[in-house]
Amino acid sequence: MPAMQITLTRPDDWHLHLRDGAALAAVAPYTAERFARAIIMPNLNPPVTTVADAEAYRQRIMQALPDHSDFNPLMTLYLTDRTRPAEITAAAEHPHVHAVKLYPAGATTHSDAGVTDINLAMPALEKMAELDIPLLVHGEVTRAEVDMFDREHVFIDEVLTPLLERLPRLRVVFEHITTAAAVEFVRDSDHRIGATITPQHLLYNRNALFSGGLRPHMFCLPVLKRERHRAALVEAATSGNPRFFLGTDSAPHPRHAKESACGCAGIFSAHCAIELYAEVFEHAGHLDRLEGFASHHGADFYGLPRNNDTLTLVRESWQPPATLPMGDETLVPLRADETVIWRIPREARVF
């Protein structure tokens, strides 16, 4: 009997880290063979803070892809305390810059140049509200005394709620949400807010960080939470609510940087991302709602056209390798040496 298949409007990834140089060339094809477009995170070192930086980075991404690739990188700027309103105006006029990312300083990988006090970024944020440029937020406070597992909830109360009261027209994407509190906030808000959800936060709870020993490859930020939060995320993603959409947060780090006394945050999932979301939707009994989450809601939120082509997934098990090349280094991908139950057809694969 032929394996079961599903065909979707080609999906997009609304939150992706591609890095630069040899790492970029190694990881970008995995996304390009699955997704038509991706929102590219600007947390390079140094960060992508100007439209000129974003355009140059976009060209490096295009050069890293095979000649025939029609993948479309959607660029973002990195908000700092000093981002000028004129840069926001330039972004609004640029065809390839689609959003601005807020990293609270110190929140995550390459966030040192991030915002130290949201009031300092207010001139840029006011211009974004005026010109309708979406603000993408890494929604965690960074104060040392706030418990690691409460940082998202505290961010909602201390930063996001006052920001939306001050700038009610600002369009916001609450990135990689991890808690029931964030689900409720996005679902019930009167503001123009959406949220991305990663495969790891849909599939794993915080026990995965400690199963049989410390698991650095399951460490990302925001960190995995309790089972009840995972369940709330699955409920939101599979509900059909257009405020929730796909964003992998695939974030490659070399193996040695994660298997370290101070391991980096970030999980690489680009090699099986849409496949893992299909698993989540199948287990929830809502495979019919995968297309909305993966291919429609994000484009609609960003005011971009939905894709015209399709992607087929086959219900067939396979095992991602133990490591993947990353320039001169290797990375350990999500589900390394374990089983993934959906796969993309052979002609679309890079391995």
43 binds, among Zn ion, ligand NCD, none (CB under 5 to 8 A by kind): ligand NCD
User: Per CB under 5 A, does 12 bind Zn ion?
Assistant: no
How far is Cα 207 from Cα 343, in angstroms, rounded to an integer?
A: 26
Cβ proximity to ligand NCD: between 76 and 307 the closer is 76
In the bound state, the residue with its beta carbon closest to ligand NCD is: 266
Nearest approach, Cβ of 253 to ligand NCD (angstroms)? 6
Point out which residues pair with 172 in neighbouring strands.
Answer: 135, 193
Nearest approach, Cβ of 159 to ligand NCD (angstroms)? 16
193 binds, among ligand NCD, Zn ion, none (CB under 5 to 8 A by kind): none
Nearest approach, Cβ of 13 to Zn ion (angstroms)? 11
How far is Cα 302 from Cα 14, in angstroms, rounded to an integer?
A: 10
Nearest approach, Cβ of 247 to ligand NCD (angstroms)? 10
For 188-218, b where at least 16 C-beta lie within 10 A, e where not — what string? ebebbbbbbbbbbbbbbebeebeeeeebbbb
Cβ proximity to ligand NCD: between 127 and 217 the closer is 217
80 binds, among Zn ion, ligand NCD, none (CB under 5 to 8 A by kind): none
Cβ proximity to Zn ion: between 26 and 221 the closer is 221
User: Per CB under 5 A, does 140 bind Zn ion?
Assistant: no
266 binds, among Zn ion, ligand NCD, none (CB under 5 to 8 A by kind): ligand NCD
Q: Half-sphere exposure (CA, 13 Å, Cβ side) for 338?
A: 8
Nearest approach, Cβ of 265 to ligand NCD (angstroms)? 3
> Interface with ligand NCD by CB under 6 A: which residues?
17, 43, 108-109, 138, 220-221, 249, 251, 265-266
Among candidate residues 20, 249, 300, 309, the one labeled active-site is: 249
Whole-angstrom CA distances from 159 to 8, 119, 165 are 37, 10, 10
107: left (phi over 0), alpha (psi -120 to 50) or beta: alpha
Q: Which helix (H) or strand (E) holds 64?
A: helix 51-64
How far is Cα 133 from Cα 77, in angstroms, rounded to an integer?
A: 11
Cβ proximity to ligand NCD: between 109 and 295 the closer is 109
DSSP-derived letter for residue 250 is: B
User: Per CB under 5 A, does 249 bind Zn ion?
Assistant: yes
Closest CA to 238 of 269, 282, 206: 282
Cβ proximity to ligand NCD: between 138 and 286 the closer is 138
Tokens encoding 103: 């990293």
How far is Cα 276 from Cα 339, in angstroms, rounded to an integer?
A: 10
Active site residue 249: yes
Q: Would you name the residues annotated as active-site residues?
A: 249
Q: Residues in the site for Zn ion, rule: CB under 5 A? A: 249
